[in-house]
Structure 1
Amino acid sequence: MELEYFVVDAFTREPFQGAQIAVLPDAGNLSARQMQQISAELKLDETVFLIRYDADDVSLRVFAGSVETSVFGAPLIACGHLLGANRLLELQPGINDLQVSNGVESAQLGLLVANGELQRVQYALQVTPRVDRFVPARSELAAFLSLSVDDLDTADQLRPLLVASPRPYLIVGVRSLTALRQARFDYSSWSLSSAPSMLAQEILLVSTECEDNEANFHARLVGPAIGVSEDPPVGSALAALACWLCEHDHIRQGTYPFGVERGSRLTRHSLLHVEMDNLGREQLPLRVSGNAAVVCRGSILLPTA
């Protein structure tokens, strides 16, 4: 059995940058075990399996290695780009709205078409965050990040918080891009701190110093399950990041567009565009958009039963 797949670089205008996402457009007959095996074999950031799609609805599953994961972030951008740019769907000029679901999560995916070409992919969602202000002391944070206390933002700037939306992240503001890139997770210091008792096992570091002029924040994920030299995609953490920003008094109510970058051009640089409606309510509406590029096309050869 032969299955076609594409590699899509998501959240970038340039090939060989951004998040590396495999997309299989004809995966409706695959079992969960086969999806796990294919994703583990490809060894990319995430693999999207399109179960079914038409002009209104898309059903899919997403795996990172052998673990099924969230559809949000780079997988949705990669999926939307492939559907539009490769003309797997017959799209009309203007915004084409699709409802996307994996059976648990759902989002509205918008494909903007102009002059016969796909111009932009955007998805919309509403999140209901849970925020916990009881986080490790600044000295503990600095220790397990291998930074000095002075490298961390102060409480009146961007204070550390635990935010779940629904996936939990410990979000920590860092004063400079240099410090953010120099941070190294120290498991020994982590195990001696109060952090392991928290729900979050991933730490999102955020700095207002950026490499790209279109970005307002630079973000990086670290944690006990993330390699020291790794800089994984941050798209799934965008909802938590937006909710974290809304918890600060200087972020007033209103609609805020902002850019988030990840990585560097020497490794893999991503640029994610976010718009949030801070209405002071329990739910936070978000819109996330980005560019993408198809860089590879190949086949998976599955053994016959």
Structure 2
Amino acid sequence: MKSVAYVTVDVFTSERFSGNQLAVIPDARGLTDAQMQAIAAEFRYSEVTFVLPPRDAANTAQVRIFTPTMEVPFAGHPNVGTAFVLGNQPDIFDQPAGNVLRFEEKAGIVEATLTRDADGRVAAASILAPQPLSRGTVIDEDTVARCASLDIRAIRRMTHAPVIASVGLPFAIAELDDLETLGKACPNTAAFAQAGRRYSAEEDQFALFLYTRLPENPWHLRARMFAPLDNIIEDPATGSASGALGALLTSLLPEKDIVIDITIEQGVEMGRRSLIDVQVRKAGGKVSGVRIAGRCAAVMSGMIHL
């Protein structure tokens, strides 16, 4: 019987059984697209990554990312977690050990930088978003309210209207009044289906990233992400959405040259608290770089029988 090895890690946390779960197939050679999708559906994590030899020897690996229902071009916690795994297994594909990894992905090259502990083991990783900030369609407030089962008056427009934004993967992003309102949000699948037909019928499935600023620190945010159309009722940590949000907020600042450090806390309502560090650089009035970082904890390893 043919089998393939896997490992799982919890991402954006230093504690096992917190953060966002990720399964990594460190050597996916020989797997078909259908098998990759079936494995992702079997785990039912928000994503599973499949690591292949790079097409270009200057890069570390080709990384493919699958949700339970589809392949996506880029995602945050899968890249951070995959970098953590490969950094602790430097012999895969005969790649030299180092602290900078380059992943070939559908959205482009993703560069990851490793942080090691005193014993030389990888403890955390940061990634550069592969694409510049893009802002898409403005989302009407009624759609956001219905998707999140909230009163329309809870949606704030002071900084920005609800809008689709991306640094490699698009999300509908909306700000809410306060933590209490954020805690009450509950996805309405029927409303999501309508929103998907209206706003992303020919693109990625409609996903909603809600956030609120903490009064004591406007750059410490609490967030929740719902994507029921992709079989992800709620995601405990969404690095790609956090990067898009950080880039969006920085782009709206009046300063033309600035570096902003943002902490995004997610997964609290699910009992899987995550901390996502986002650093955004703005130069000449344009966002010039988005770095997404976090710690990881190894959890499981085993074999998948095919």
TM value normalised by structure 2: 0.82
Alpha-carbon contact 2:256-2:286 (below 8 Å) kept: no
What corresponds to 1:209 in structure 2? 214
Separation (CA, whole Å) in 2 of partners of 1:265 and 1:191:
24
- 1:280 positional shift: 4.4
Alpha-carbon contact 1:56-1:97 (below 8 Å) kept: no
Which protein has the larger Cα radius of gyration, Structure 1 or Structure 2? Answer: 1
Alpha-carbon contact 1:77-1:121 (below 8 Å) kept: yes
Separation (CA, whole Å) in 2 of partners of 1:264 and 1:202:
19
1:128 aligns with 2:132: yes
The structure richer in helix per residue is: 2
Separation (CA, whole Å) in 2 of partners of 1:265 and 1:133:
29
What corresponds to 1:112 in structure 2? 115
What corresponds to 2:25 in structure 1? 24
What corresponds to 2:6 in structure 1? 5
Match of 2:79 among 76, 79, 102: 76
SS in 1 for 2:268: coil
Letter in 2 for 1:29: G
Please list every run of 5 or more consecutive structure 2 residues that lacks an aligned counterpart in the other structure: none
Alpha-carbon contact 1:45-1:232 (below 8 Å) kept: no
Separation (CA, whole Å) in 1 of partners of 2:106 and 2:148:
37
Map 1:213-292; keep pairs closer than 5 Å.
216-222=220-226, 225=229, 230-231=234-235, 233-249=237-253, 253-264=257-268, 267-292=271-296
Letter in 1 for 2:29: G
Deviation track 1:35-87 (CA, whole Å, cap 9, x = no partner) reads: 11222222222111111268951212111124112343111111111122345
Letter in 2 for 1:257: D
Please list every run of 5 or more consecutive structure 1 residues that lacks an aligned counterpart in the other structure: none
What corresponds to 2:148 in structure 1? 145
- Alpha carbons of 1:7 and 1:224: their partners in 2 closer, same or farther (altered >3 Å)? closer
**What's the C-alpha RMSD, in Å, of the aligned pairs?**
3.2
Match of 1:91 among 94, 97, 104: 97
- Alpha carbons of 1:66 and 1:162: their partners in 2 closer, same or farther (altered >3 Å)? closer
- Alpha carbons of 1:23 and 1:140: their partners in 2 closer, same or farther (altered >3 Å)? closer
- Comparing 104-113 with 229-238, which one deviates more in the overlay? 229-238
Deviation track 1:117-174 (CA, whole Å, cap 9, x = no partner) reads: 22431111353333247431x4554344322244222x32454223244433221101
1:295 aligns with 2:299: yes
TM value normalised by structure 1: 0.83
- Alpha carbons of 1:99 and 1:159: their partners in 2 closer, same or farther (altered >3 Å)? same
Letter in 1 for 2:174: V
Letter in 2 for 1:217: L
Separation (CA, whole Å) in 2 of partners of 1:119 and 1:140:
40
Alpha-carbon contact 1:219-1:234 (below 8 Å) kept: no
Alpha-carbon contact 2:46-2:67 (below 8 Å) kept: yes
Match of 1:170 among 169, 172, 177: 172
Letter in 1 for 2:263: G
Alpha-carbon contact 1:127-1:239 (below 8 Å) kept: no
